[in-house]
Structure 1
Amino acid sequence: MLAVLRNPSYAKLFSAQIIALLGTGLLTVALGLLAFDIAGGDAGVVMGVAMTIKMVAYVAVSPVTTALTARLPRKPLLIGADLIRAGVAVSLPFVTEAWQIYILIFLLQSASATFTPAFQAVIPSVLPDEGEYTRALSLSRLAYDLESLVSPMLAAALLTVISFQDLFAGTVVGFLASATLVIVTRFPYIATPPPAPFFDRLTRGVRAFWASRELRGLMGLNLVVATTTAMVIVNTVVLVQGDLGRPQTDVALMLAAYGGGSMLVALGMPKLLDTLPDRNVMLTGGIAIPVLLLAATGVIAWADGTGQWVALLVLWGLIGAATSTILTPSARLLRRGSSEENRPAVFAAQFSLSHACFLITYPLAGVLGAAIGLSAVALVLVGIGVLGSIVATTAWRPASRVESPVP
């Protein structure tokens, strides 16, 4: 898998991704501490609003900025987005009111909503060989999972010697280092698309999704992933400390089980996709996720003691593995369903549509979970996951061939 790093352009871009992810992880920790410093007991409200703003920016801003910048070269676009993110990170330690956090978070996440799909759309041109591209996707999945484990530990270690405001400096360094690596990377030639009306550019990615059976299937799988991700991210701490009465370290252990399952699958994905088609792998995960979440519901409701804890750890690991069977190969579908001309729009559409699913399931998992309990809200998420699986299997029929990309 690491052989793909022999490509110097990809090696630099992958390094930029890792550094930016670590910077973002430090930012998340520092932002929570800043919110508490400003709002005290209402810090949860501030963070909840900030995360909602993040999702709204991801859903609404990404297609618009992609349409507005469709004819701009990718390299200066990525550099500019990184510099904006660094500028916002510099400003955050100086805020004194919650509304200032909200404005800066919107600017930061709007820049991320521009950077991420544009970055992802460049990689297929850097790695035209599908085998190499698949290995790059596995590395990317590993990077995301490792960041979720490493960033909190790094932040905790740094907080023993510096104040939380200084964590923002680490974020600034991360974004500036990412921009520097992009600057020194040699980009392949990517033809500038011909002029087109703004509405045509704005809807280009969504039209590509509608035209492709694979991508319509991916839309259903996005909904499945959103259900399990919401349950894990929003309710793991509530489950471990609230329902089970276990210590904070067990929250980290349970999240590590989820991340570990995801990483194991990501490591084996290139060989798996050499022997099995994407549809079989991804739909297996799409069907397994609601089943595993249903099993977790039963364990939460009826099991107890050590057996319950061990069972939940195993289930969280399996849920992470099933989620990775969808997330790791998904960009292969985007690559096949796009052309050089519309690829940024297709990746932006995936970025926006997948986060629209999170915008539904995250509030459900949090608000409904507090109102009716974890077992009941898990059943609701199971129902949504089953709906997503039905959409995916219906839209992505086995006899379908790969359609020509929508121009």
Structure 2
Amino acid sequence: MRLFAIRDYRRLFGAQIIALLGTGLTTVALGLLAYDLAGPRAGMVLGTALTIKMVMYVVIAPLAAAYVDRFPRRTLLALLDVMRAAVVLALPLVTEVWHIYVLIGLLQAASAAFTPTFQAVIPDIVTDESDYTRALSASQVASTMESLLSPVLTAVALAFISFNWLFLGTSVGFLLSGLLVLSTHIPDARPSAHTEAWDKAAAGIRTFLRTPRLRGVLALNLVVAAAGSIVVVNTVNYVRDELGGSQSDVSWMLAASGGGTLLAALALPRVLDRITARTVMVTGAGVLVGGTIAAVALIAAGLSTWAGTAIVWTVIGIGMALIITPTGNVLRASVAPNAIPEAFAAQFSLSHLAWLITYPIAGWLGTNAGFALAWSVLAFLAGAGAIGALLLWPRHDSRQVVTGPATSVRPARRTDRSTLSKAA
């Protein structure tokens, strides 16, 4: 495959896989740690921890974009990996719920700076449009493989060790990721068209608000967050308390969602060669709305079964991949090259703003009022987001927007026209 012939991309992809696997272990272990400390109120604890995560993502990501061109990106990414490794290593030592909140705040502040910076590096290394499309798909496959394999590996590991040891695996993963980043040649960020830090931080957000297709992406972010919160926040309590499952059963149910995402991500590169990104992403929104409604039906009608839950979780995983995977192409087709870091940081921040809304609903409302009401509210939000995407993203949209002082439309190269036809 031509993409993996690119040495620097190959090493960065390896760093991503290792870090993702470690993150996946932490995600599962954090849910089990919350259950160990809070029991039936684990959903509320996990919801609070994830809300802190979203606050950090929303606040830190634009600030990171504002200053990223002032530092060597390779050094910055490696230092952030080391910081994450140190914080995760402290998680097994917590004895109080508030310890989780402090450490998660530090961990996610580092991740909020790392992820959009990492995402913005890829277009500078993979310059061919078709290769970049496949790089996006490979990134999504890696993420979904983490969603699939991490719970499976966790289920196997928990048969032999305590879940606290999973945090050690995460710490090692971050350190290995940092070493691979240091072995890669990463060009420094292009100087931004904006000189003031606040202008840099706000530039990507302004681009989203004034670009029709990106306003559609904003609405789709809400759909993903509404459906994904059911899986991320409520799986632990749902499997343990509603289905009477074990710690390992939690992992297998999360793997069902990851499996659905993996199947969709593997199929998408060929699909996107023939079908527009808008069609794929709007279809994903419909799948997620259906998945959330099915989840409500499971709990409201007393139909909670292992098979039914696994099917619904798989459907949600498929829908999330249909929206998330093409997003990078849509962003790249909408901004000038020197605005790519700002666009990715804005998407990272704004997408997690949606999760900031939905995580408390799944965690706090789910704990205090029950899954039926919480999931009904999330299903309503998913439906509102899907309708919003249809209205905000024109069916015929061929403009490529340039951020920065110039407001004219940039002439498209031949490769750009192909991408724009997919993003329309």
TM-score computed with the length of structure 2 as normaliser: 0.85
Mean CA deviation greater in 381-390 or 361-370: 361-370
Question: Normalising to structure 1: TM-score of the pair?
Answer: 0.88
Aligned equivalents of 1:69 and 1:292: distance in 2? Answer: 38
- The residue number in structure 1 matching 2:21 is 22
* Equivalent residue number for residue 364 of structure 2: 367
For residues 314 and 162 of structure 1, the distance between their equivalents in structure 2, rounded to whole angstroms, comes to: 29
Q: Does structure 2 conserve the Cα–Cα contact (< 8 Å) formed by 1:81 and 1:115? A: yes
Structure 1, residues 94-130: CA drift from partner, whole Å, max 9, x if none? 5565555433322221111000000001111211222
Equivalences for 1:73-84 in 2 at 5 Å?
73-84=72-83
Shift of 1:282: 0.6
What is the aligned partner in structure 1 of residue 403 from structure 2? 406
Q: Which residue of the other structure, out of 339, 344, 347, is the alignment partner of 2:341? A: 344
Structure 2 vs 1, CA of residues 176 and 102 (structure 1 numbering), >3 Å: closer, same or farther? same
Match of 1:377 in 2: 374
5+ residue gaps, structure 1: none
Once the two structures are superposed, residues 343-364 of structure 1 have per-residue CA deviations (whole angstroms, 9 ceiling, x without a partner) of: 1121111111111111111111
Q: Which moved more, 1:160-169 or 1:249-258?
A: 160-169
> Counterpart of 2:215?
216
- What's 1:103 paired with? 102
TM-fit CA distance, 1:196: 0.7
Report what 2:171 is aligned to: 172
| Contact kept? 2:51, 2:359, Cα under 8 Å | no
- Tell me: CA distance 1:244–1:209, structure 2 relative to 1, closer, same or farther (3 Å): same
Q: Which residue of 2 aligns with 1:392?
A: 389
- Of all paired residues, the percent bearing the same amino acid is 46
1:73–1:192 CA contact under 8 A, matched in 2 = no
Q: In the superposition, relative to structure 1, how do residues 120 and 395 fare at CA in structure 2: closer, same or farther (>3 Å)?
A: same
Alignment of 1:127-146 (within 5 A): 127-146=126-145
Residue 322 of structure 2 is matched in structure 1 by 325
- Indicate the RMSD between aligned Cα atoms, in angstroms: 2.8
1:342 is paired with a residue of what secondary structure? helix
SS at match of 1:275: coil
For 1:67, the equivalent position in structure 2 comes to 66
One-letter identity of the residue aligned with 1:339: A
Shift of 1:239: 4.0
Partner of 1:5: 4
1:123-157 deviations in Å (ceiling 9; x for gaps): 11211222211212222122222212323443455
Q: CA deviation at 1:342?
A: 1.8
Question: 1:268 Cα deviation (Å)?
Answer: 0.6
Structure 2, unaligned stretches of length 5 or more? Answer: 405-424
Greater displacement, 360-369 / 164-173 = 164-173
Once the two structures are superposed, what CA deviation does each residue of 1:295-346 show, in whole Å capped at 9, x if it has no partner?
44334434748xx654443333222212211011111111112223221121
Q: How far is 1:259 from its partner?
A: 1.7
Where does residue 283 of structure 2 map in the other structure? 284
State the AA in 2 paired with 1:354. Answer: S
Conserved 8 A contact 2:72-2:188: no
SS where residue 75 of structure 2 aligns?
helix
User: Match for 1:144: what amino acid?
Assistant: S
Asked whether the equivalents of residues 148 and 256 of structure 2 are also in contact (C-alpha less than 8 Å), the reply is no
Does residue 244 of structure 2 align to residue 263 of structure 1? no
Question: Is the partner of 2:273 in helix, strand or coil?
Answer: helix
Amino acid at match of 1:135: R
Q: Residues 165 and 59 (structure 1 numbering): CA distance in 2 closer, same or farther, change over 3 Å? A: same
Map 1:145-160 → 2, pairs under 5 A: 145-155=144-154, 157-158=156-157
Residue aligning to 1:315: 312
Q: 1:28 to 1:297 in 2, by over 3 A?
A: closer
Structure 1 distance, partners of 2:96, 2:171, is: 21
SS in 2 for 1:235: helix
Describe the superposition over 1:269-294 as per-residue Cα deviations: whole angstroms up to 9, x where unpaired: 00000001111111111123213322
Label 1:51 to 1:157 Cα distance change in 2 as closer, same or farther (>3 A).
same
The total of aligned residue pairs comes to 403
